[in-house]
Amino acid sequence: MYILTDKSTGGVYAVFNKDRIKTVQVFESEEDAVRYNDLLVADGYEEELEILEVDPNIVAANCGRYNYYYTVIGKDEFVIPPT
C-alpha cells in the first residue's frame, strides 16, 4: 500500500475528514497514489510530495498514536483532493 509524504520533512500527507479529524489516505494502488499527487500539483499544492510504499499495519499503529484516522482507497477508486 502507498501513502504520500512531504519530500522535505518526511511528514505524512493527511486531509481533514467531515468531522475535522486528520485522515491519512492509504492507497492500494501506486498508480492511484500518483494520480492523486498529480491532482494536488494541478491544484497548486505547494509542498513536494513523494509516494512511499508502507505496511498498512504500521500506518494504523501510527495513526492511533497521533490521533489520526486513516482510510484505505481501493484500487481504481477516484478521490479528489479537497479545495
For residue range 27-71, list pLDDT tens digits in order: 999 999 999 999 999 999 999 999 999 999 999 999 999 999 999
N- to C-terminal Cα distance for the chain? Answer: 25
* Arithmetic mean of pLDDT, 14-33: 94
pLDDT at 42: 95
Give per-residue pLDDT as tens, 47-57.
Answer: 999 999 999 99
The residues facing 51 across adjacent strands are: 4
Statement: 2-73 belongs to CATH 3.40.1350.100: yes
